[in-house]
């Protein structure tokens, strides 16, 4: 691929959660309110940086409705050559699959993506079941009119289907996708904790199943093999949550040329991506910053992973 960002220290992984739902059953669609017509796009995009020393993980969430410059490519659906054009970042996957999503993110961030990981509804749900469920906590009631998520304040052990409701919900309050991103970040911390506390990687059968689920069947240049997935999980499993940091790319408002698209704050976002490219932390190790719940538009905060854990 031409004109890619230079390689930096550490490893950059693009985590993509797609809205692919053809592999879940009709009953599951009804039970977990996951029906409807899929757009074949990315509902979740996280740029994950694992430091060269394997002692820090930085996660930057990219809102699905971000304004993007999608590179020239061959459209997967029509086979036609398409010139570069503006669009929402989640639409790159629909037009050109994971490879185009990677190219789009690299062009927008200036960060070289070394590997990517994609999960559809089935693989997500089965992965959660394999680790024995994921425990999440909420200080307030969470109700979503679309996914029918309904959680009372407190701690909840979620199975695969309820976890899907949790990470998909964006109508809990007026924070829309920013609230959903916050819950996705909390969920990632909780999922890694489940892998560790349930000793999943110490069980060869469960570990192999989890690795196969996460790796999927794709055979592409920058996807993961099962062995690479498990090696990464082992590295992350040794890290305390305080060695992880989370933020959302800063935004300045809505695009004037593309309806409903979020415009990134280029100056602030540039500093975030420069830190990733230079293998530098996003926030001091002793930071006590916490996310507001619900989040406030346009004022993302970088927090340590232990502030997102259940207490």
**Phi, psi at residue 111, to the nearest 5°?**
-105, 130
With helix as H, strand as E and coil as C, how does 8-22 read? CCCEEEEEEEECCCC
Q: Are 224 and 214 in contact (CB under 8 A)?
A: yes
Taking the complete model, does pTM exceed 0.85, yes or no?
Answer: yes
Checking phi first, is residue 244 left (phi over 0); if not, alpha (psi -120 to 50) or beta?
beta
Rg, Å, the chain Cα set: 18
Q: Contact, 42 vs 18, CB < 8 A?
A: yes
How far is CA 43 from each of CA 5, 39, 180, 235, rounded to the nearest angstrom? 25, 9, 10, 26
Which pLDDT does position 236 carry in this prediction? Answer: 86
pLDDT at 215: 82
3-state SS, 159-178, equals CHHHHHHHHHCCCCCCCHHH
DSSP symbol at 290: -
Question: How far, CA to CA in Å, does 168 sit from each of 22, 34, 181, 195?
Answer: 16, 9, 9, 21
Nearest one of 115, 70, 63 to 95, comparing CA atoms: 70
What does the block give as tokens for 220?
């592409």
Local confidence pLDDT in tens for the 311 residues of the chain? 567 888 888 999 999 999 888 889 999 999 999 877 777 889 899 999 999 999 999 999 999 999 999 999 987 778 889 999 999 999 999 899 999 999 999 999 999 999 999 899 999 999 999 999 999 999 999 999 999 999 999 999 999 999 999 999 999 988 888 999 999 999 999 999 999 999 999 999 999 999 888 887 654 456 788 888 888 888 888 899 999 999 999 999 999 889 889 999 999 999 999 999 999 999 998 898 998 888 876 556 899 999 999 87
With beta carbons less than 8 A apart as the criterion, state whether 165 and 149 touch.
yes
Structure tokens at 26: 């009709």
Rounded-to-integer distance, Cα 118 and Cα 215, Å: 8
């Amino acid at each position: 691929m031409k004109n890619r960002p230079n390689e930096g220290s550490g490893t950059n992984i693009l985590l993509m959660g797609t809205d692919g739902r053809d592999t879940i059953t009709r009953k599951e669609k009804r039970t977990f309110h996951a029906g409807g017509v899929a757009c074949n796009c990315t509902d979740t995009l996280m740029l994950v940086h694992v430091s060269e020393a394997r002692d820090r993980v930085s996660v930057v969430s990219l809102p699905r409705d971000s304004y993007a410059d999608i590179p020239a490519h061959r459209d997967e659906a029509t086979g036609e050559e398409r010139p570069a054009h503006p669009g929402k970042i989640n639409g790159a996957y629909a037009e050109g699959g994971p490879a185009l999503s990677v190219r789009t993110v690299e062009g927008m961030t200036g960060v070289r993506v070394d590997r990517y990981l994609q999960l559809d509804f089935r693989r997500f749900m089965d992965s959660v079941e394999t680790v024995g469920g994921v425990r999440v906590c909420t200080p307030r009631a969470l109700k979503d009119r679309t996914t029918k998520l309904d959680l009372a304040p407190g701690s909840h052990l979620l199975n695969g289907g309820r976890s899907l409701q949790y990470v998909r919900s964006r109508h809990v309050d007026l924070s829309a996708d920013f609230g959903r991103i916050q819950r996705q970040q909390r969920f990632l911390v909780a999922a890694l904790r489940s892998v560790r506390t349930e000793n999943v990687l110490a069980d060869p059968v469960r570990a192999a199943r989890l690795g196969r689920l996460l790796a999927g069947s794709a055979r592409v240049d920058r996807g993961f093999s099962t062995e690479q997935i498990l090696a990464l999980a082992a590295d992350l499993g040794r890290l305390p949550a305080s060695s992880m940091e989370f933020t959302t790319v800063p935004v300045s408002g809505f695009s004037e040329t593309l309806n409903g698209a979020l415009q990134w704050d280029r100056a602030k976002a540039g500093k975030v991506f420069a830190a990733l490219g230079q293998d530098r932390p996003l926030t001091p190790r002793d930071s006590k910053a916490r996310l507001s719940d619900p989040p406030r538009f346009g004022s993302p905060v970088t927090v340590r992973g232990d502030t997102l854990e259940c207490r």
